Amino acid sequence: MKINQYTSAIALLLSAGAFIFAGIIGNKAYKEISVIKKTSAGKQIMVLQEKISMFEGQLTALSNSLASLDQRSVERPSTRAAAGTGDISAHMSDILVAMNDSMFQLEQIVDASGMKTIATNDAVDQSIMKQVYDEYYERKLIATHRERMEEMNQALHTADTETYDEELKDLYEEARFVWGRKDNPEQREVAMKELLEKYPDANATGMIIAESAMMSALKNNLEDAERYYGMLAENDNFSDIVTDWNLKAVPTMQYYLAGQYIDKGRPDDARRMINALTRNNETMIFVGGGGSKYQTTQNAINGLRERIESK
């Protein structure tokens, strides 16, 4: 087992404790939970906050120690061989003891805080506890999804840079719609046409098609949205295109088109698009509108199907 895997075990345990704390006091349901008759709960929560902060510092120090040890073992194997393994074994023993003590300490913190009592107390509406968990979990999913979309977008641009010349980048910038920049639709159209002719499979070309599809969707221009979506769907190179808005184009457009088909009384087309969306493996999807801009893909699909049934 690699050294840093030990750190991951502690990090996971710490995350569990932090989740319980954040879910209880960091959510809008706090006002309802605060009516619990046990007056000591508030003090216990504050103690938990302080101890978790202290424990995070201990974990960071331990992680740094492990990383330093791991790096030394990689960079100076000859020194390790010359000195023998005694020092490292002793150090590892100290680390494992510290880890065991830390895990036991966190268990005590959670027990002493009364969090388990709160979670199982009949005075607490369990639907509120579920709401706390669901909202916290969804926020974590959205944050992780957005980070992954940004990484994918950057990787697509990097691949283009390694494959094509500077002209692609210049045409891409000319063809883009940039919020706050004076728009020149004719110039953008000319640049997009040139991209399609010279660089039909470039990621940048796919991004421009995707942005055009999304702009058409924002303008409720179904005909153009369908046309641009078709251009994405017909090119396998564009199946995983992520725009500079960090939106994955294909599932985003599938969700939009399915909704439009429902609104326009085309349930068969809507079901076809929903089936296509189902085959995507994305955890989250951008749905626009007020409130939350993202939903889990399954919830979004369920919502579309409910709309069809209600028609």
Task: Find the mean pLDDT for residues 180-194.
Answer: 89
List, for residues 18-64, the tens digit of each pLDDT value. 444 444 444 444 444 444 444 454 555 555 556 566 666 666 666 66
Domain encompassing residue 49? 3-123
| Triad 221, 222, 227: Cα angle to 5° | 105
Is position 223 within any domain?
A: yes
pTM across the whole model: 0.60
Residue from 266, 207, 262, 256 nearest 231 by CA: 207
Is position 212 within any domain?
A: yes
| 257 plus 206 within the same structural domain | yes
- Is the pLDDT score of 280 beyond 60? yes
Is position 68 within any domain?
A: yes
3-state secondary structure of 84: coil
- Is the pLDDT score of 2 beyond 50? no
Is position 129 within any domain?
A: no
Is position 75 within any domain?
A: yes
Q: From 70, 93, 123, give the residue that closes a domain.
A: 123
Structural domain count of the chain: 2
Is position 276 within any domain?
A: yes
List, for residues 89-127, the tens digit of each pLDDT value. 565 566 666 666 666 665 665 565 555 555 555 555 666
DSSP 295: E
Please, are residues 85 and 15 in contact by the beta-carbon 8 Å criterion?
no
Amino acid at 97: V
Please, are residues 62 and 99 in contact by the beta-carbon 8 Å criterion?
yes
Q: From 95, 123, 151, give the residue that closes a domain.
A: 123
- What phi-psi label fits residue 220: left (phi over 0), alpha (psi between -120 and 50 degrees) or beta? left
SS3 helix, strand, coil % of the chain, rounded to 5?
Answer: 75, 5, 20
